[in-house]
Amino acid sequence: MSDTEIKVPNIGDFKDVEVIEVLVSEGQKLKKNDPLITIESDKSSVEIPSTLDGKIKTIKTKVGDKVSEGDLILILESTSQPTAKIKEKTVLEKDIKKIQPIKAEIQQTTINQKNNTSLSSASPKVRKFARELGVDINQVIGSERKGRVIESDIKLFVASKSKNLENNTRQPYEKIKQEFSHSEFGEVEIKDIPRVKRLSSKYLINSWTKIPHVTNHDEADITELEEFRTSLTDIYTGEKKKITPLAFIVKALTASLKKFTNFNSSIDEIEDGKMTVKKYFHIGIAVDTPHGLMVPKLRNADNKNIDLISSELKNLSEQCRNLKIDKKELFGGSMTITSLGGIGGSFFTPIINYPEVAILGVGKAEKKQIFFKGKFVTRTMLPLSLSYDHRIIDGAEAARFNNELKENLGKNFAYKLAI
């Protein structure tokens, strides 16, 4: 028996990298290729295996240490002869690549969650997998030798967790779903979900689950704006201009954003304590296309007049419907307008277009009898549904924003906005 120093081998890019795990303890018997430590760089992590059989005498590294090639990991009372240095390196590189846990049969059917918080052993790949799913690997019971956690343990853990959740919340529906298939009740057809819908699904889920939405409903009196809009004629042809209310709404919203700058912001992670307030005014427009909903941005709306906004709205929606829109035009917005005004309906609850913090839903303007200046009169009222991220915007601020927007759409501002 002789004492042998086990050092960090040459493993390419790994220089001055952090030890994220020590997988062995002093006095432990080892076989050649047993993993000793896990090191992690910005790009990936690897385990360093033992090059010899033996018993660990002293461990010379700990979690958090920064190591490079040649740094001492531990001293081993070895029972096998060390190989020549050059050979050791070759073996190590080969062995590192070889570290892939062998798939074990999962016998556990109940939740594989630990009762204690002892550190779990797992390969870097499995750790990464757990991190991506937001699973604390130390909570998972490993099914491998010495409780080592493998990918299927993580999957089982997640499945058990979600099953538990479903059992608590969705049991009646799940039962019906399992017992009957749709086709038992009549003819059905299985269709492909369009690509745009599949792509936007992850953004919608992200937004719906991450952002605490609140929607304030209000109505803007656009009687004068509508009189003005419908009176617009082309100076050359004398024909009526085909400008929809949306162009005016873009302009009014932009003016409101200038005053309420929180609405023109984004947050990545609230825990970071930072928000990005945009100095530009790129208004997202939800466009209904045969392929699904797309949200191109009308850039620099503050510097454009109603005619230009109107023609850009037409261009953008045409490009979306013909799938000619540049992908970049779907990103980098201030706030979005989703207008169902040309179709029908009044109020709804729009989903915020993440990472924006607010969205304005517009319904169909209708003539209504309202109490105005001391008597009931007929006015044209535009339904507004403002959804906002309650982490950044409070209800009172949203109500004030709607007041401002109503002013900007109301008779005092309609003419000014048209310029």
The residues that are catalytic are: 390
Cα 298 to Cα 304: distance, rounded to the nearest angstrom? 10
Q: Kindly state the helix (H) or strand (E) to which residue 220 belongs, with its residue range.
A: strand 213-221
Site for ligand CAO in 212-231 (CB under 6 A): none
Residue 264 in tokens: 């023109």
Which of 49, 142, 245, 296 is the binder for ligand CAO (CB under 6 A)?
245
Residue 17 makes contact with ligand CAO by CB under 6 A: no
* Total Cβ atoms within 10 A of residue 256: 23
* Total Cβ atoms within 10 A of residue 298: 25
- Helix, strand and coil content of the chain, in percent to the nearest 5, comes to 35, 25, 40
* Total Cβ atoms within 10 A of residue 325: 20
Q: Which stretch binds ligand CAO (CB under 6 A): 14-22, 280-288, 370-378, 387-395?
A: 280-288
Which of 12, 194, 342, 395 is the binder for ligand CAO (CB under 6 A)?
342
Residue 246 makes contact with ligand CAO by CB under 6 A: yes
> Smallest gap, in angstroms, from Cβ of residue 106 to ligand CAO?
42
Residue 361 in tokens: 């839903």
> Smallest gap, in angstroms, from Cβ of residue 350 to ligand CAO?
6
Nearer to ligand CAO among residue 4 and residue 402 (C-beta): 402
Q: Strand pairing of 292-294 and 335-339?
A: unpaired
Cα 309 to Cα 298: distance, rounded to the nearest angstrom? 8
Which of 285, 301, 360, 417 is the binder for ligand CAO (CB under 6 A)?
285
Residue 338 makes contact with ligand CAO by CB under 6 A: yes
12-42 burial code (b ≥16 CB/10 A, e <16): eebeebebebbbbeeeeebebbbbbbbbbee
Cα 47 to Cα 97: distance, rounded to the nearest angstrom? 9
Site for ligand CAO in 297-336 (CB under 6 A): 313, 317
Q: Which stretch binds ligand CAO (CB under 6 A): 45-53, 94-102, 262-270, 358-366?
A: 358-366
> Smallest gap, in angstroms, from Cβ of residue 299 to ligand CAO?
16
Binding mask 370-399 for ligand CAO (x = CB under 6 A): ------------x-----------------
- State residue 186 phi and psi, 5-degree precision: 150, -175
Q: Kindly state the helix (H) or strand (E) to which residue 58 belongs, with its residue range.
A: strand 54-59
**Coil, strand or helix at 362:** strand
Nearer to ligand CAO among residue 88 and residue 288 (C-beta): 288
Nearer to ligand CAO among residue 9 and residue 245 (C-beta): 245
Which of 49, 333, 341, 355 is the binder for ligand CAO (CB under 6 A)?
341
Q: Which stretch binds ligand CAO (CB under 6 A): 57-65, 123-131, 207-215, 281-289?
A: 281-289
Contacts to ligand CAO by CB under 6 A? 242, 244-246, 285-288, 293, 313, 317, 338-342, 350, 362, 364-365, 382
